[in-house]
């Protein structure tokens, strides 16, 4: 039979070399150097379709296109096609599993097959163990994510409801803000305790403090750095919390919590303008939804003065929160866990040193006046401060155990929790406009949680689904074809010698 050769480099096509089919199983294989001149000439072999069809069931041809990696050398091409000098591809590593052989395999082939089976089993065991470890790690991270979501939701909703309840007997939102912010001083000591318990390399608190101070520059935390990089954030922190608490006095907690979710949209807009972040159409849509939700929420109560003031206070709080985050990224960048803990403690120190005078002034001017001191609900104040402190700790350090998106979900999930509590404790009316506004703002918040490469991931997912569908269709066709061939094989004679 003829085998056509197509050399590379633009040589003439159509040159035919005749190779005789000769097998002598009783003669031991000779060296390939005996046919080296022919091997140098043969680079690419293509079997004629007519010949392949005629000898379709021959053992010397059936393995031409089989194997996991195909033919890799010219010697294998010749020997596997012709069976030259006793070469038996079906008795070695090229043994196929589609149909059994008539002749028994030699002992060496069986040993090779056992070795390959053992190696395959070992590789499969390693792959399975790796997949089990990956799935176990992902399951653990998802479990921690669920725990973090529940805690963020409960702490944020709990602090909001407790502040609403506290104002019934203690009408001093700025004093409550000042009191709760002072507790931030405990964040770095708590972080150091966790560092000592978990870290293998122990450091003294002074050494850890100096290492975390490098976050502010080479000179550490100087007086200039304190007033230029820490004090502005202390003011923004106080304004954010004060406006939020003051809004709770004006409107119900459901409206306050859902309107505060608009801070995500404000963060995107400020980042796009100030930080020159990537433009994303889906986030522009989310910002538009947030603004539409604010307008509809204002319309829900008929544009009364108290509701308009309350909504303006919440929007101002969300704006201050967004400005805090954008300026932090602009001036300080990203912070590690120890650096974030130190920064929150510095905010507490700033609050104690420079904000303490404001509650005193408000008290003596009777803007925020309480009397007597024994009537102060210290339990409510301490409970609110603990909830707010743990909320900030989990929000800043929860990324170590779970995904950031899950932590953000805890904030938006506090909206239905507050709605349920308000339904049983206040006279809130969930009319159609308010429900639609809540849904629109929640949808905008969820759209802002999409990653920047969400469109690329979506295209890849759709492409994989299409490829998998084509593979399944091809496998189904191959199964039908193999069944038809096995049916014809019983009537067609074999040409193997």
What's the confidence (pLDDT) of residue 106?
41
**How many whole angstroms separate alpha carbon 111 and alpha carbon 95?**
12
Helix (H) or strand (E) holding 81: helix 74-82
Counting Cβ atoms within 10 Å, is residue 450 exposed (0-12), middle (13-18) or buried (19+)?
middle
Structure tokens at 145: 């994510």
- Distance, first Cα to last Cα, the chain: 15
Helix (H, G, I), strand (E, B) or coil at 45: strand
**How many whole angstroms separate alpha carbon 393 and alpha carbon 142?**
19
Find the mean pLDDT for residues 51-55: 50
Find the mean pLDDT for residues 308-321: 92
List of residues 6+ apart from 280 with CB closer than 8 A: 268, 452
List of residues 6+ apart from 115 with CB closer than 8 A: none
Q: How many CB atoms lie within 10 A of CB 162?
A: 20
Counting Cβ atoms within 10 Å, is residue 76 exposed (0-12), middle (13-18) or buried (19+)?
middle
Least reliable range by pLDDT among 298-307, 372-381, 483-492: 483-492
Helix (H, G, I), strand (E, B) or coil at 364: helix
Exposure class string for 361-388: b at 16+ Cβ within 10 A, else e: ebbeeeebeeeeeeebbeebbebbbbbb
Least reliable range by pLDDT among 187-201, 310-324, 398-412, 421-435: 398-412
Q: Which residue has the higher pLDDT, 306 or 64?
A: 306
**How many whole angstroms separate alpha carbon 307 and alpha carbon 211?**
48
Structure tokens at 33: 């150097």
pLDDT tens, residue by residue, 161-220: 999 999 988 889 999 999 999 999 999 999 999 888 887 777 888 888 989 998 888 888
Helix (H, G, I), strand (E, B) or coil at 3: strand
Q: Is residue 13 predicted with pLDDT exceeding 50?
A: no
If phi > 0 it is left, if psi is from -120 to 50 it is alpha, else beta; for residue 270 that is alpha
**How many whole angstroms separate alpha carbon 447 and alpha carbon 430?**
24
**How many whole angstroms separate alpha carbon 244 and alpha carbon 414?**
15
Counting Cβ atoms within 10 Å, is residue 33 exposed (0-12), middle (13-18) or buried (19+)?
exposed
CA nearest neighbour of 68 among 99, 110, 96, 100: 96
Label residue 429 by pLDDT band (50, 70, 90): confident
Helix (H, G, I), strand (E, B) or coil at 334: coil
pLDDT tens, residue by residue, 96-127: 444 444 444 444 334 444 444 444 545 455 55
Cβ–Cβ < 8 Å for 81, 71: no
Residues facing residue 2 across a β-bridge: 18
DSSP sequence for 101-169: -SSPPPHHHHHHHHHHHHHHHHHHHHHHHHHHHHHHHHHHHHHHHHHHHHHHHHHHHHHHHHHHHHTTT
Q: Is residue 89 predicted with pLDDT exceeding 60?
A: no
Helix (H) or strand (E) holding 4: strand 2-5
**How many whole angstroms separate alpha carbon 295 and alpha carbon 298?**
5
Label residue 9 by pLDDT band (50, 70, 90): very low
Cβ–Cβ < 8 Å for 63, 80: yes
What's the confidence (pLDDT) of residue 481?
59
Q: How many CB atoms lie within 10 A of CB 62?
A: 19
What's the confidence (pLDDT) of residue 22?
43
pLDDT tens, residue by residue, 386-413: 999 999 998 888 777 777 777 788 888 8
Counting Cβ atoms within 10 Å, is residue 304 exposed (0-12), middle (13-18) or buried (19+)?
exposed
What's the confidence (pLDDT) of residue 81?
56
Give just the sign of the alpha carbon dihedral 215, 216, 218, 220: negative
**How many whole angstroms separate alpha carbon 198 and alpha carbon 293?**
45
Strands 45-47 and 15-18: unpaired
Helix (H) or strand (E) holding 173: helix 173-182
Structure tokens at 208: 């850890």
Counting Cβ atoms within 10 Å, is residue 99 exposed (0-12), middle (13-18) or buried (19+)?
exposed
């Amino acid at each position: 039979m003829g085998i056509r050769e197509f050399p590379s480099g633009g040589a003439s096509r159509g040159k035919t070399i005749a190779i005789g089919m000769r097998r002598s199983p009783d003669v031991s294989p000779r060296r390939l150097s005996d046919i080296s001149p022919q091997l140098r000439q043969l680079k690419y072999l293509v079997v004629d379709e007519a010949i392949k069809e005629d000898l379709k069931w021959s053992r010397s041809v059936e393995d031409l296109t089989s194997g996991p990696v195909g033919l890799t050398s010219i010697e294998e091409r010749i020997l596997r096609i012709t069976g030259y000098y006793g070469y038996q591809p079906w008795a070695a590593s090229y043994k196929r599993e589609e149909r059994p052989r008539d002749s028994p395999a030699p002992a060496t082939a069986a040993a090779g097959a056992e070795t390959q089976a053992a190696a395959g089993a070992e590789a499969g065991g390693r792959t399975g163990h790796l997949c089990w470890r990956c799935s176990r790690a992902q399951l653990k991270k998802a479990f921690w994510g669920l725990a973090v979501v529940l805690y963020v939701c409960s702490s944020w909703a709990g602090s909001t409801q407790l502040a609403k309840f506290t104002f019934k007997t203690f009408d001093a939102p700025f004093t409550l803000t000042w009191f709760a912010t002072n507790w931030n001083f405990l964040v770095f000591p708590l972080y150091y305790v966790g560092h000592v318990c978990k870290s293998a390399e122990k450091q003294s608190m002074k050494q850890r403090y100096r290492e975390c101070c490098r976050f502010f520059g080479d000179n550490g935390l100087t007086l200039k750095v304190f007033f230029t990089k820490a004090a502005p954030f202390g003011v923004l922190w106080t304004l954010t919390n004060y406006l939020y608490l003051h809004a709770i006095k004006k409107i119900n907690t459901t409206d306050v919590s859902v309107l505060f979710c608009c801070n995500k949209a404000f963060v995107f807009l400020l980042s796009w303008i100030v930080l020159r972040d990537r433009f994303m159409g889906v986030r522009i849509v989310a910002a538009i939804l947030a603004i539409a939700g604010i307008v509809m929420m204002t319309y829900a109560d008929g544009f009364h003065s108290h509701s308009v003031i309350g909504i303006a206070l919440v929007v101002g709080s969300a704006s201050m929160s967004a400005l805090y985050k954008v300026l932090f990224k602009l001036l300080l960048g990203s912070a590690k866990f120890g650096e974030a803990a130190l920064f929150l403690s510095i905010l507490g120190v700033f609050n104690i040193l420079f904000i303490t005078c404001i509650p005193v002034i408000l008290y003596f001017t009777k803007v925020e006046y309480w009397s007597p001191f024994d009537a102060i609900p210290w339990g409510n104040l301490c409970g609110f401060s603990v909830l707010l402190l743990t909320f900030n700790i989990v929000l800043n350090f929860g990324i170590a155990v779970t995904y950031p998106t899950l932590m953000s979900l805890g904030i938006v999930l506090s909206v239905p929790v507050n709605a349920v509590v308000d339904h049983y404790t206040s006279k809130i009316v969930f009319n159609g406009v308010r429900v639609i506004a809540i849904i629109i703002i929640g949808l905008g918040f969820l759209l802002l949680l999409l990653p920047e490469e969400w469109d690329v991931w979506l295209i890849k997912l759709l492409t994989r689904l299409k490829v998998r569908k084509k593979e399944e269709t091809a496998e189904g066709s191959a199964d039908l074809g193999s069944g038809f061939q096995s049916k014809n094989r019983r009537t067609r004679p074999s040409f193997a010698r």
